[in-house]
Amino acid sequence: MMRGSINPATDSGDTALVMIQTLLCVLREKNVLTRADIEELCLKLEDRVTNHALDPLPCCNEAAVAAASEMANICEYIGHKFGGKHSREYLRR
């Protein structure tokens, strides 16, 4: 196992992003998550951006926009790599 130190000055969430991307891929590969599950997560992030004022877990709107954008990229990548059925809600949007 490779271990390294993280420099807080240069780590702007990149470490967490890489871990989450990898986790989502592993869970999809093992069929713990379906394509529809990942698309649902993507839609929930989009909803947080759209309904920012009503968000029960308030956060910086810019962070929510960035997270929704990154999740859309992850969703597209995982969809192409592993396939699977789309969620009905995702197809409607």
- How much of the chain, in percent, has pLDDT values that exceed 90? 37
CA 43 to each of CA 5, 11, 70: distance values in angstroms, whole numbers, following the listed order: 34, 27, 12
Banded pLDDT at 2 (limits 50, 70, 90): low
More confident of the two residues 10 and 83 = 83
- 51 lies in some domain: yes
What domain count does the chain have?
1
End-to-end CA distance of the chain: 42
More confident of the two residues 64 and 92 = 64
Question: What average pLDDT does range 8-29 have in this prediction?
Answer: 84
More confident of the two residues 7 and 41 = 41
- pLDDT one-digit tens code per residue, 33-62: 999 999 999 999 898 888 877 877 777 888
- 19 lies in some domain: no
Whether the Cβ atoms of residue 75 and residue 38 lie closer than 8 Å to each other: yes
Q: Residue 48 belongs to what domain range?
A: 34-92
Give the global pTM: 0.73
Q: What does the block give as tokens for 73? A: 């990229």
In angstroms and rounded to an integer, the radius of gyration of the C-alpha atoms of the chain is: 15
Whether the Cβ atoms of residue 24 and residue 71 lie closer than 8 Å to each other: no
